[in-house]
Structure formats: structure tokens, C-alpha cells
A = this chain, B = another copy of it.
Amino acid sequence: MRTGEELLALVESYLGELAFTPELGGLEEAVRYPLESGGKRIRPVLCLAVGEAAGGDLERCLPAAAAVELVHTFSLVHDDLPALDDDDERRGRPSAHVAYGEAVALLAGDALLAEAFRLALSYPTPAVGRELAAATLGMIGGQYLDVTGSGADLAELHRLKTGALFSAAVGVALWAAEVPEVEQRPWRAFGDELGLLFQIVDDVLDGDGYVAAHGVDGARAQADDAAARALARLDAIPAETSVLVGLVAGLASRTA
């Protein structure tokens, strides 16, 4: 059983050595740039940790984990564009469109999404790709609500923008680890609680969302509840889940 740090190292090394489609040519540099800006790699680490805990081969889970991180990165690159959030910085570096111009950043985002599907489609089952497509469409729907302020409730917006890809990180891991569909439900229930926990803590750190709706203490209490439910879900799964327990604790107590 690998530790969380070992899983993170595996993710970084896999992403760093990832061979992109040769036809992307000179665009590859702008595709790698946002992918190499660090970040916590929570989703791919979650994917690997679930895959290993569920009895899967870790090597076989890596393309799925990377696919989830590429979809996350695609969304950051497009969301940062001037037409959307117009963010000039991302993780302390110029965002992709500042570094490479809008045209190239737009295409780099498209390429990240298509490469994510290429990775997801490397499995014999189309289920990995299906999971990713559903999550991507949920995220896009969430971003649309965010951009247009279409008045949907906050929980729905967050479920789409953040929860969908967290759930997919668990879902693709289960398929990659060849867990039969009838045995997937408890793992997925865990993933849903973890996504919610991540989002509430995000809002506590940013002072918006759940904090705006429930105050800091109210949001903190909801985060604690989500963490407790996530741990209870894990407890009900007959597998060695200590790395996932650590992940819950890490997400609950994170400060950045």
C-alpha cells in the first residue's frame, strides 16, 4: 500500500512523462504549461488511492488518474480566459493566455480535453470515458450557471462545478480497477461526500459560497459533518482504506 506522498510522486512523474499526440506539434508546450504548474493533484491522487484500495493495479489506474487531472486543467485554462473569469494568474504564475496568448490558450484547453479522452479511451471498457464525459458536461453546465448567474442554488452549482469531477475520479478508478458495477456503490457514496467536503472547505478558505450562506461556523460544521460521513462510508467498505482516511483528514484541515 503506497502512502499519499508516494501516490502524488507517481502522479507527478506520470504527468511529466506523458507523451502527447505528435500532431499537436508546437502546441504541446502550451498544453504542458498549465499541467506543470503544480497544484495539489487531489483528484488524481484520490483516483489512485481508490484504485489501489479497491484491489486494482496501480499502473493500470494511472491513465485514468491523469485523464481526470487533464479535464480539471482544461477547465482552469478556459475559465481563466478573458471572456470568462479573466484571471491573469494561476498558482502564482501567469495564466496560459497571458503566457501564450488567447488563441493558443484556447486551443491548449481544447487539446487538454481531447487528450483526457484519449487517455480514458486507452482502456478496454468504454466505461472510463463515459464517466469522464458525464463529469465534463456537468462541469461545463456548472460553469455556465456561474458565468450567467442563472440563479440556480449554490449547492447545485457546486455539485456540478466541483462534485462531478470528484465523483468521476472515484468512478474511473473503480472501472480501471475492474470493480464490478454492483460493488461500486459504497465507493461512490464516499466520493460524493469527499467532493462536498472539498467544496465547503474551499468556500471557508475563500470566504464565499457556503460561508456566505451559513457563516464561517455554519460552514465549518457542515464540513465536519461531510468529513464524518466520508469516514463512515469508508468504514463500511471491507478494504484497507487508511490512505483514503488520511486524504479525508488532509482535505478537512487544509489551509490552502
Contact = CB atoms under 8 A, between A and B. Distances in A.
A140 B78 contact: no
A117 to B, nearest CB: 5
A246 interface: no
Interface in A178-231: none
A102 B83 contact: yes
A168 to B, nearest CB: 12
Interface stretch (A33-41, A125-133, A236-244): A125-133
Contacts of A137: 21, 23-24, 111, 114-115, 118
Interface residues of A, number: 49
Query: How many copies of the polypeptide does the oligomer hold?
Result: 2
A140 B110 contact: yes
Contacts of A141: 21, 23-25, 27, 111
Nearest to A97: B83
A28 to B, nearest CB: 9
A104 to B, nearest CB: 7
A125 to B, nearest CB: 7
Contacts of A251: none
Top 6 closest A-B pairs, CB basis? A83-B102, A23-B141, A21-B137, A27-B144, A118-B133, A114-B136
24 contacts: A23-B137, A23-B142, A23-B160, A24-B137, A24-B141, A24-B144, A25-B150, A27-B140, A78-B110, A81-B83, A81-B106, A83-B101, A84-B107, A104-B144, A104-B148, A107-B140, A107-B144, A113-B113, A114-B137, A117-B133, A118-B137, A121-B133, A123-B126, A129-B129
